[in-house]
Structures are given as C-alpha cells and as structure tokens.
Structure 1
Amino acid sequence: MKKSKDGFTTIEMLIVLIISSFFMSLCIFLYQGTHINDQELEKEFWVNFREYWKQAIENSAYTGWETNIYEKDHDIIFSNKGHHNKLRMPDSMHSQDNLLITVNNDGYVPPQTYEWYSKNTHTRYLLKVQLGGGIYKIYEKYYE
C-alpha cells in the first residue's frame, strides 16, 4: 500500500521558510545599501557643484563673459562663451523647473534661492545665493 502525499512535510516547509527568509533579508540589506549610496552621491554632487561654482565665478571675472548655469538632460551645465562644463546630477535628484543662474561678467550673482529635490532621501535642498558676491549656502529640509 502506498501513502498518498498531497501536502508538504514539516521539513519541506522549514526548508522553504529558511530559503524565503534568506532572500527577504538579502533584499532588505540591498535596499538599505542603495539608500546610503543615494545620500553619498548627493553629498558628492554638492562637493563637485561647489568646485564648478568657484570656477564659474573666476572665469566670469577673468574673461569678462557671463556664465549661465542651467539643467539639461539631468546635467547641470556651466556655460561660458561656448565652453560647457557638465556636472551629472544623481538620478534621485531634480532641480526646480526652468533653473537658470546667471553669473555676470564681473563674477556677481544676484541674490536668489534655487531648489533641488531628492525623491529617495526626501530632501529639499535650498541653494541660497547671498550678498550677490557668488557666495551661497546649502540648506537641507526633509519632508515626508
């Protein structure tokens, strides 16, 4: 007489549970790593932005030509008399609509606030140009 085997045995269920929990914990670990990498990429973007910004101020003051800073195809473009420097934004970020920052031909930047958003870290970055001398500060505001 053969026994009919319609369901799982206890050992088979334990094996399935162990394999499932392993994959779930692996997915959680990888997701957390991605979130940390987004924060690091955003910090690196702002460090690079500062260098490009300084170069734009110096180029405008030295050459006497204005520099325009704008977004195109997820790049921040620093354009000075036909010379373009591109700074790639992290995929998690986007800037305000119609971003245009003009550095005058003497290195002067009118005081204004510009906004960037990060959907993954839920951060709103405010770039506030102060005193018009090309000096700015970054403020981070978190939202849900």
Structure 2
Amino acid sequence: MKRSAFTMVEMIIVLGIISFMLILVIPKSTRTFQEWQQKQFWNELKQEWQLSQVRSQNHGEITDISYDQQDRAIIFCSKNHQRRINVPYSIRVREIKPRTMLSNGYIQPATWSFIDVLNHEELDLKIQMAGGGYRIEKKRIYSE
C-alpha cells in the first residue's frame, strides 16, 4: 500500500531551503529594526526638546536634561513633567554633559557625542544657546 506523504529526503530539502532563506532575511530585518529604533530615538529626543522649550517659554518651567548611564536614557525633568528617552544599543554615547533649560528657553551651549554603530558615523549634537535649539553634525569614522 502506497501512502502519499513527504519522504525524509523531501523534508530535508524543504528544511534546507527554508534555513537558507532565513539566513538571508534575518540580518536585513535586524538592521531594519535597529534603524527604526534609531529613528524613533531621534524623533522622541526632538519632540521632548521642543516640548521643554515650549514649557519653559510659555510656563516659565526650568527643565534639567541629563543622561543616566546605567539605564542608557536621556532624562528630561521639570517641575510637573519627567520623561526618559532610551538610547538604542546601536548608538553609543560618548559624552553627554547635563544641561538646564532656563525659564526663558536659554540653555548653555555644549556638544554631546554619539557613535552610530550601524552607519559608522560619529554624531555631534551641538546645543546652541540662541533659541535653545540644537543641530546634529555627522562625520564618517570608517567604512566597510
């Protein structure tokens, strides 16, 4: 009596093909997820920074901005608000000096340094006192 089923050889071939496809797809999806995490981090940082500016200029609130090295988080702390923004593991923090955004939106100038491991770039976040904003400068540190 002949039964219609997969033979052992057919099963091994199918598993081999699936394994090969996973080997090709997983690294790309991991990188895509890390890029998405970085984009989320920079967006959250920008939003929280702007929110702190609005709170300081409209409500006269002082905001302390610091970095918790243990939890890898940038902390925005004012009288009525606290927010932690987690730094993704694909970004290394080289230096973040604590800063205080004053009630008029003024903040002392500084440079925060990051390393983007995915894109092999050094990122300098330059805090500017005029208007309390910042800009990001990118420098390629090595190529593959």
- 1:8-45 deviation per Cα after TM superposition (whole angstroms, max 9, x unaligned): xxxxxxx9798657535522320121112212211121
In 1, are the aligned partners of 2:113 and 2:123 still within 8 Å (CA)? yes
TM-score of the two chains, using structure 1 as the length reference: 0.73
Identity %, equivalent residues: 25
Residues 142, 27 of structure 1: CA spacing in aligned structure 2 closer, same or farther, 3 A cutoff? farther
Q: How does 1:26-41 map to 2 (within 5 A)?
A: 26-41=22-37
C-alpha distance in structure 2 between counterparts of 1:17 and 1:120, whole Å: 35
Give the gaps of 5 or more residues in structure 1.
1-14
Superposition RMSD in Å: 2.7
> The residue matched to 2:61 in structure 1 has which SS?
coil
Is 2:38 aligned against 1:42?
yes
**1:84 and 2:82 aligned:** yes
Q: Given the superposition, is the C-alpha separation of residues 40 and 123 from structure 1 closer, same or farther in structure 2, using an over 3 Å criterion?
A: farther
Please state if 1:61 is matched with 2:57.
yes
Amino acid at match of 1:31: P
Larger Rg, first or second structure (1 or 2): 1
TM-score, normalization by structure 2: 0.73
The counterpart of 1:71, out of the listed 53, 58, 67, is 67
How many residues in Structure 1 have an aligned counterpart in Structure 2? 133
Amino acid of the structure 2 residue aligned with 1:46: W
SS of 2:122's partner is strand
The question of 1:101 aligning with 2:99 is answered yes
